[in-house]
Chains A and B, each alone.
Chain A
Amino acid sequence: MESLSASLSGIVQMFHVSKTFDGNCSALVDINLRLEPGEMVYLVGPSGAGKTTLMRLIFREERVSSGQILVQGRNLNTMKDSQVYQLRRRIGVVFQDFKLIHSKTVFENVAYVLQVLGKSRSEIERRVWNSLKRVGLGHKKDQYPRRLSGGEQQRVSIARAIVNDPVLLLADEPTGNLDTDMARDIMELFMDINIQGTAVLMATHNMRIVEEMKRRVIYLREGKIVHL
């Protein structure tokens, strides 16, 4: 029922969304956007265009100044702060700086999402193992993040984002800290995840890779959508 409702309404819908910081600094201006289930969309634009702000609005790290955002039919404006964690359990997020817990091993980092949900030990082991295998890091499950390369840390971050089978994966400059080869690998990984049915919204400034991947592109400049 939920997926039917999501397919009718889209995974993400933004209506006239604007975001202003400190009262006068406009980060986003009148954004209208629709992301369909299973779709992969690139969000491109120069630094300061508002890509990260747009992502943060979708997982309610920030609140809109005006307009409406629906995620799977739920209006984020009316969502209470105490309910935000329920939204985040359905969305996977990948950041440029990975945001891993360095005191936990690769396995524990990925497992944490499932521990939050109170899954059984056997289910956690199975799903974490599958997730790590998908990103090609099954053999490094007992290592600590600091001992991994940037590309590997990003893979751990992706494994954590997909371990709970999210309906939507948000990736904010996931290849920003990686060299070209590693960036291409990571992009292919996102493509693979998308092919499995997860909608992906990825912010990037790597136009060459975006052109190669042949997916819908949203261009942001000075907080406005320039080309849809």
Chain B
Amino acid sequence: MFICRVRQLSYLLRQGVQGIKSAGISAGVAVVSIACSLLLLCLYFMAFSNLSKALDSAKNIQVVLYLRDNLKQPQISLLQQSLAGCDGITGIRFVSKAAALKEFRETLGEDASLLDGLDTNPLPASLELSLSPNLKEPDQFKPLLQHLASMPEVESVQGGVEWIEKLSNLLTTVRLVLFLLGTVLTAIALFITASTIHLTIDRKRDEIAVMRLVGASNWYIRFPFLIEGMLEGFIGGGLAIVTSAVLHYAFCWKVSPFLDMIFGASAVCFLEPEEMFFILLLGLFVGGLGAMVSFSYHSA
């Protein structure tokens, strides 16, 4: 009995592969449409993981508290002590007015002589704070920053907070847009696969009638179409991964150096193995579901 089943399965698998060959262009259209929708999903994964990475590295930027000019050393020490007790602050470095001017001179380099004309040191003393990496979202560190800004000793707060917020918003928008596009295109791919299989079923209508006549079960008749749809989906998934690899290569070659210059970001990373596996699985699922939908429609 088991051997019979294995023989049947192997025969049906061959029939499924033959089905793709005989479907020709219509199978090609289904593969490309599945590839297009899954390509968007690949881009979604890549954009999401890279933007998340950029967001994480951006959070390493220190928050700087500029202090009021009239503060005495004991007040500053007291402030440092109270900040050390705050959740989310992992490091504090005091930069005096003199040290700030010295650092600024070093930054200006050859143009440092411009500062010689100053009568007084205009730079404020500051505290450079390192925030905990556990604070991932703007919503988490915003209350802390508001608390810091409200302190009487603090003149102003500066850090990469605004652009972290912008990046986070961008990430949410990109995630939403790509997800919606991916969903719409997956639905289109499903529809096109179903239509392709439907054409094949229509072409084989007489053959299916004979199959029923000689005692083929419903599943025996469906299985080659299911295999055909799943194979189309799998090939579409593979094509999407290859295309996204090409796009990734082109992006790294042409655009990534500029990003490095602007953001100091590390190299743009490609899909993780589990993401590629997921894309291939989704291709199989979309193709298989398309075939089943089509067959159910045909049977009805």
Contact = CB atoms under 8 A, between A and B. Distances in A.
Interface of A: 59, 82, 85-89, 93, 99-103, 112-113, 115-120, 160
Contacts of A88: 212-215
Nearest to B217: A85
Given A88-B215, A93-B213, A99-B213, A115 B11 contact: yes
Contacts of A59: 213
A100 B210 contact: yes
Contacts of B220: 85, 116
B209 interface: yes
A101 B212 CA distance: 12
Interface stretch (B2-10, B98-106, B127-135, B265-273): B2-10
B298 to A, nearest CB: 15
B206 interface: yes
B250 interface: no
A218 B18 CA distance: 46
Contacts of B215: 85-89, 113, 116-117
A118 B214 contact: no
5 contacts: A100-B210, A113-B215, A118-B8, A120-B7, A160-B214
B11 to A, nearest CB: 5
| Most chain B beta-carbon neighbours within 10 Å: one of A82, A116, A120 | A116
Interface in B38-56: none
Interface in B84-101: none
A101 B206 contact: yes
Contacts of B210: 99-101, 112
A79 to B, nearest CB: 13
Contacts of A85: 212, 215-218, 220
A117 B212 contact: no
- Considering the complex of A and B, which 10 residue pairs feature the smallest CB-CB distances, nearest first? A118-B4, A89-B215, A88-B215, A118-B8, A85-B217, A118-B7, A113-B214, A116-B216, A85-B215, A101-B207
Contacts of A86: 215
B153 to A, nearest CB: 80
Contacts of B3: 118, 120
| Most chain A beta-carbon neighbours within 10 Å: one of B11, B214, B215, B220 | B214
Nearest to A115: B11
Contacts of A93: 213
B45 to A, nearest CB: 41
Contacts of A118: 3-8, 11
Contacts of B216: 85, 116
Nearest to B216: A116
Nearest to B214: A113
B269 to A, nearest CB: 48
Nearest to B220: A116
B197 to A, nearest CB: 17
Contact of A117 (B4, B6, B209): B4
A202 to B, nearest CB: 17
A99 B214 CA distance: 11
Given A89-B214, A115-B8, 7 more contacts: A85-B212, A85-B215, A85-B217, A86-B215, A88-B215, A89-B215, A116-B215
Interface string B1-45: 001111110010000000000000000000000000000000000
A112 B7 contact: no
B216 to A, nearest CB: 5
| Most chain A beta-carbon neighbours within 10 Å: one of B213, B216, B220 | B213
Nearest to B4: A118
A1 B63 CA distance: 89
